[in-house]
Amino acid sequence: MFEAKTMLYVYVETPLHAGSGRALGNVDLPIQRERVTGYPIVQASSLKGRLRAAGEGMPHFEAVFGPDTENADKHAGALSPGDAKILLFPVRSLAGVFAWTTSVEMLNRFRRDAAMVGSEPGWTTPEVPEEGEALIGSDALKAGAKIVLEEFTFTSKTDQIVSTIGQWLAKNALPQTEEYAYWREELPKRLVILPNDDFRDFVTFSTEVATRIKLDPETKTVDEGPWSEEYLPTDTLLYAPLMATPPRTDSELKSGQDVLQAVKDLNLTRVQLGGNETVGRGSVYLRIA
């Protein structure tokens, strides 16, 4: 039974490719998605592997993350991350450059997961917007009386709860360092709550897709490719439950809370997650609540 729980926030700083392998669709290397909803995720195994690599050499490493593969039958690690789920997805906007979009469904999912780890945000969610309607907290994204995201137009409806949610996320989910001060100020202004189906369509069809090739180092001609890769765009916000049991082996760490504290003491901020590290992909900023 998990003894201690908290939330881990993952802010995407460069396009993120957490791949699901080869596919038969239009994109050769798609990102990981939930089977039923199609929402993007980063699977718990990918997240735990990244945390494990970052924690190499820390005190009580095996108690927190478990032994190496050859000795995996000895005991399990005490740390258990969940899947990183999407909360905010950036979409190009005619006014204001881009909007952080979400939906009532995503916000209620987040509230459910936050309650599971004991960190309920304290705000309520609005009613689902009508078809063709978008909820906003300020006029920053309005082009006339409308909100234009990509090539789609929505009737804007101002609701104070949007600003309240944006302020809470800016304070509790975004990094609190100086270089993020501008983004913390902008988030409440640029937050848009869309109808559930429209949000699903954006996270399905508005991700980044890059076409790549491999060159022969001698001839400088194409050796492999082209192939296409899918990425979550910069400024996406994800979250993942982070849970812990007491260590399953002898350790100075005695409780699940000790395990979470040991992970917090790593002071992890910017790490690389997913593939294509050598071309600058997958830089994310981690924040443990």
Q: How many residues does the chain have?
A: 289
Tokens of 180: 């993020």
With a pLDDT cut of 70, the percent of the chain lying above it is 99
The answer on pLDDT for 1 being more than 90 is no
The reported pLDDT for the residue numbered 101 is: 98
pLDDT band at 231 (very low <50, low <70, confident <90, very high): very high
Round to whole Å and give the CA distance between 159 and 8.
28
pLDDT, tens digit, 9 for 90 and up, residues 44-98: 999 999 999 999 999 999 999 999 988 888 999 999 999 999 999 999 999 999 9
Query: Lowest mean pLDDT: which of 52-61, 72-81, 166-175, 216-225?
Result: 216-225
The reported pLDDT for the residue numbered 73 is: 85
**φ, ψ at 244 (rounded to 5°):** -150, 145
The reported pLDDT for the residue numbered 24 is: 61
| Nearest alpha-carbon partner for 233 in 126, 150, 118 | 150
The answer on pLDDT for 22 being more than 80 is no
Query: Which letter does DSSP use for residue 9 in this model?
Result: E
User: Is the whole-model pTM more than 0.85?
Assistant: yes
Round to whole Å and give the CA distance between 203 and 100.
12
Q: Which residue has the tokens 């640029």?
A: 190
